[in-house]
Structure 1
Amino acid sequence: MADPSTRSGFAAVIGAPNAGKSTLVNQMVGTKVSIVTHKVQTTRFPVRGVAMHDDSQIVFVDTPGIFAPRRRLDRAMVRAAWTGAEEADAIIHVVDAAAQTRIGTPDETGSDHRSGDDVARVIDGLKEAGRTAFLALNKIDAMKREPLLELAQTLNDTGVYSQIFMLSATKGDGVGDLLKAVSETMPEGPYLYPPDQAADLPQSLLAAEITREKLFLRLHAELPYATAVETASWEEKRDGSVRIEQTIFVERESQRAIVLGKQGRAIREIGQRAREELEEILGRRVHLFLHVKVKENWSEQRSLYTPLGLEFDV
């Protein structure tokens, strides 16, 4: 019989691209469950990270960024984000506070304007759904106190936030207070996962995500967003090691040359970094083999959506 004092439930972490959602989830879970890069919209599908606090188990759903979708993949990602929020017991809206205070003086790419639009889009969505959320003002270490308080007041006036937390997901400042507040909102019930489990993500999918992270970190300025990684095979060896073969999909031959690098240097470095992190996560030796394949308009292939839990017909 389950202990009636235990609590468990889902908390969706939503927000604009690059607001720091994945970093925050990793901090609250205490280990890496979502990849983090400088590239916007890195998270493409909901990733579940499991955290324990007192007698509560919180399953954090790290969702893709909410933004104005243009392509099929964009629409699928935004749909996944809102679906995660609709089904959750609690919602955390992560806002890049520093970016909001720069609205009106955007950088050359106009990214700060887009960030402001995306925040407004989330607020409108919460109002339409009749939901309230915890507001996590992130990256506060990059701004001054007065504009931060003004921003908090402005957002609080929208009426969609039950509590406001000011934090730095990277440093961990303020994260504990948010975790405590979320844990208290979880409904009573038995734990959904073993207490020592940190993530609900197939190892083959996690391995593909780790390689995609290293790919973007190594080739951030050169590599287009339209790149995917798929684990083609996973073979358990008798000595306890694992042999993993992965395919990196790009859309043009010129992109394949970028991923390979001069004399194959880029792909070797990406593979080495991915292998080292996988060995640390899996706790065993990993034999990783990467292949680069040109697949025009891969983001229009239905077969690549299903394993990620994304809807194709949106």
Structure 2
Amino acid sequence: MTDHNETNETNETTPAIDFTNSKTKAGFVALIGAPNAGKSTLMNSMVGHKVSIVTPKVQTTRSRIRGIAMHQNVQIIFVDTPGIFTPKRRLDRAMVQAAWQGAEDGDVLLLLHDCARRLIDEDTSNILTKLAASGRRASLVLNKIDLAPQERLLERADEMSKIYEFERIFMVSAETGNGVADLKSWLAGKMPKSPFLFDPDDLSDMPLRLLAAETLREKLFLNLHQELPYQLTVETEDWQDRDDGSAEVHLSIYVAREGHRGIILGKGGQTMRRIGTAARKELEEALDRRVHLFAHVKYRKDWMDDSARYNLWDLDYNA
């Protein structure tokens, strides 16, 4: 996924990017935390473009999504992992395993915590305990500082530091951008010497077919209530580049219950049309091209137990 509006022009405040191997740095930053801690929002803020879907609902991210950020001569690849929680289903177990695997793969590990919460939640407590037992170095990012009283920030940092000794502690608002630049600068300094691992113009390594499916899934999450979004998945069945430069995309929405089809479609298909239009417009903006989007809602009772789905998300079916 490439931002076609970005250029490599320089000015007095932005040093030119050096593409030689001897002076460039590149590495991975893994983001972990409880569901809804703001990992996807922070990664999008760091990259400067939306590369991971964001919704108010927990457990939105299902697989590891990589976002690519540049800071002068440094390339920082952020790995947005699923939220870590107590798993109940096969899909839950696979998501939590992917999150911990992502933590192992990073050059730097950041634990995000929603400090707007009045207390440390159970999921975060379990993460802290596991980190302390692992010996893995990590830094703490207290997120959503714009929503928390000032006195809570130091209290929460002190409370969490008694359980695990962090390398550094940062206080940010991923939503407003407050504190994000300082964190990004520090991360750039932690990256190892290396040639760039991706084209500097790329914003993510996400395939276009997955981008289309994730974009529609986000709109479904935002427009459907209660547990229904967790009972569905979206897959790109076909992608065709037309001669006029536009893209024709066919998506299938799989639901676990037959009755869910009608809810998603809505009266006369109005709900699905509204959701599909929102997804199409966002794809067109991201790709800078016209998109013809066709979505079909299909019933597949056991999609959560289909190993092929897990392969698409880079999840371990046997976790």
Task: Report the TM-score range of the alignment, normalised by the length of the smaller protein.
Answer: over 0.9
Q: Is the 8 A contact 1:208 1:229 kept in 2?
A: yes
Matched, 1:186 2:191: yes
Q: Secondary structure at the match of 1:240?
A: coil
Which of 200-209 and 181-190 deviates more?
181-190
The aligned residue for residue 201 of structure 1 is 206
Give SS of 2:70's match: strand
Return the match for 1:164 from 150, 157, 169.
169
**Does residue 134 of structure 1 match 2:134?**
no
Corresponding residue for residue 153 of structure 2? 148
Letter in structure 1 aligned against 2:76: I
Q: For the residues of structure 2 that align with 1:156 and 1:176, how far apart are their CA atoms?
A: 23
Q: Which residue of 2 aligns with 1:270?
A: 275
Does the 8 Å contact 2:250/2:293 carry over to 1? yes
Equivalent position to 1:18, from 31, 36, 45: 36
Kindly provide the CA deviation profile for residues 250-309 of structure 1, in whole angstroms up to 9, marking residues without a partner as x.
Answer: 111111111001111100001000000000111111000000011112111001111111
Distance 1:160 1:307 in 2: 36
Mapped contact 2:129–2:164 kept (Cα < 8 A): no
Q: Which residue of 1 aligns with 2:264?
A: 259
Counterpart CA distance in 2 for 1:220 and 1:235 is 32
Rounded Cα–Cα distance in structure 2 between residues aligned with 1:206 and 1:84: 20
State the partner residue of 2:67. Answer: 49
Using the aligned pairs only, state the percent identity.
Answer: 51
Cα distance in structure 1, aligned partners of 2:54 and 2:129: 27
| Kept in 2: contact 1:46–1:64 (CA 8 A) | yes
Residue in 2 aligned with 1:230?
235
Runs of 5+ consecutive residues of structure 2 not aligned to the other structure: 1-18
Counterpart position of 1:112 = none
1:97-112 matches, within 5 Å, as 97-99=115-117, 102-103=118-119
The one-letter amino acid of 1:144's match is P
Please name the residue that 1:65 is paired with.
83
Between stretches 52-61 and 213-222, larger displacement belongs to 213-222
Conserved 8 A contact 1:247-1:290: yes
Structure 1 residue ranges without an equivalent (≥5): 104-114
2:288 counterpart residue number: 283
The whole-number CA distance in structure 2 between the counterparts of 1:56 and 1:125 is: 31
Which AA in structure 1 matches 2:56?
H
Aligned residue type for 1:9? G
Any idea what SS the aligned residue of 1:14 has? strand
Find the partner of 2:56 among 30, 38, 41: 38
Q: CA deviation at 1:5?
A: 2.2
AA matched with 1:23:
T
| 1:213 aligns to 2:231 (yes or no) | no
RMSD of aligned Cα (Å): 1.3
The one-letter code of the counterpart of 1:76 is A
CA contact (8 A) 1:46 1:61 kept: yes
Distance, in Å, in 2 between the alignment partners of 1:125 and 1:196 is: 37
Q: Of 252, 264, 275, which aligns to 1:247?
A: 252
- In the TM superposition, what is the alpha-carbon distance from 1:218 to its structure 2 partner? 1.1
Q: How big is the shift at 1:223? A: 2.4
The TM-score, its normalising length taken from structure 1, stands at 0.93
TM-score, reference length from structure 2: 0.92
CA-to-aligned-CA distance 1:221-260 (integer Å, 9 cap, x gap): 4724121000000011111111100000111111111100
Conserved in 2, the CA contact under 8 Å of 1:123 and 1:160? no
